[in-house]
Amino acid sequence: MKLAVHKLIAFLLCTAIFTGSVFLFSSTAVAEGETENVEETEQAEGNEKTSNINIAAPSAILIEASTGQTIYEKDAQVRRSPASITKIMTLLLIFDHLQAGKIHLTDEVMTSAHAKSMGGSQVFLEEGEVQTVDTLIKCIAVASGNDASVAMAEHIAGAEEEFVAMMNEKAESLGMVDTHFEDCCGLTNSDNHYTTAKDVALMSRALITQYPEIYQYTKIWMEDITHTTQKGSSQFTLSSTNKLLKQYPYTTGLKTGSTDKAKYCLSATANKDGIDLVAVVMAAPDYKVRFQDAMTLLNFGFSVSSLYTDENKERLEARKVTGGVSEEAEIVYKEAFRYLDVEGNDINQIQKELRLPEEVEAPVREGDIAGKAVYTLHGREIGSVDILFSESVEKATYRDYVKKVFTLYF
């Protein structure tokens, strides 16, 4: 009898364990399946936003300028001939030299025979003609003058070849890994003169964020310049090649380009509600398509983008310093913080937390990292900014301690 009872109990226990295991396995499988479905759903929603965009050009990209965040891309890393959007790099180097004081807007530049010989888009500079740097920037930015580009390249570097070497060095420093230039204007048909939509966005971003004064030129629709040569003086009207200035109300720039090899290219910049976008279109089949594609990208970008900005200008409380000649050290934010949301979140819910030690040990050096400001949205970290010491505090010596005691009591 006892044996029968024991067998019955054992059978019931085994049945319970087996049933529980099956239930646990089934529950786990369902839970895992639900997780996968949630991830797939989120990914599908993200893809659905961009799949509705109809871009005819084979390569395109859309970025937000202050953060550099990519909002949309289509074969953006395929190498293509850039035509005159090459001049974005030419303009970037011109402004680098202006900032460094190596050239000035009022400097006079003489046109060489080589510069005059350029075909394609030109402003018809004559050999020996003198124009200011300011005027030549207008000729490049507004009318896409190949002759003006070469004249500036020679003025800065002595020869176009030397200037092109500088362009390639600058491209490398910007992380433009799929770019190589062979001239300063994009007129060449060489297979060794190439870039990508992504790289064009990188140099466009560098130009407009470092030198927003470029907009003073790229927003010009028409303007007259004066040719003064041995033949006398004559007026010449610069007409912008960027038709978006008339077609799209938020346009700020930037550069068009077209050759038989490159087809139709455009790097378009626009600003709305404080958001700067860069839309790059390459190898569009005709000039109308490149402008339509750019407007499609810009409209999409503005419709999904919310930009959170914290300038970090408020004064921070000094940190206590132990063992130093001073008892505290001032600290500052390294930079402003910007976050681009394209998922419809309420950016007003972003929170900032300062993570700083109560005190630090001397010595500390100006520029050393003291801590950081961490930003979160719905509990998820979205970025941070370093907090730096804005002054140095040396380690105290015996003489410093004696001086402190003397000052305290006498």
Assess whether 66 carries a catalytic annotation: no
SS3 at position 370: strand
Assess whether 21 carries a catalytic annotation: no
Task: Give which of 96, 165, 80, 169 is closest to 133, Cα–Cα.
Answer: 96
Q: Which of 59, 66, 121, 144 is catalytic?
A: 144
SS3 at position 43: helix
Instruction: Kindly tell me the sign of the dihedral angle through the C-alpha atoms of 65, 67, 71, 72.
Output: positive
Task: Give which of 330, 340, 281, 334 is closest to 308, Cα–Cα.
Answer: 340
Number of H helices, E strands in the chain: 11, 18
| Angle between helix 87-99 and helix 146-157 axes, rounded to 10 deg | 40
SS3 at position 272: strand
Task: Give which of 245, 252, 178, 170 is closest to 214, Cα–Cα.
Answer: 252
Assess whether 144 carries a catalytic annotation: yes
The Cα-based distances of 120 to 40, 147, 183, 225 in angstroms read 50, 9, 14, 19
Q: Which of 87, 170, 198, 255 is catalytic?
A: 87
Q: Which long-range contacts (CB under 8 A, 24 or more apart) does 352-356 make?
A: 352/310, 354/316, 354/387, 356/319, 356/331, 356/387
Taking the C-alpha atoms of residue 246 and residue 248, their distance in angstroms, rounded to an integer, is: 6
Q: Which of 84, 112, 258, 305 is catalytic?
A: 84
Residue 25 exposure: Cα atoms within 13 Å on the Cβ side: 6
- Just list the catalytic residues: 84, 87, 144
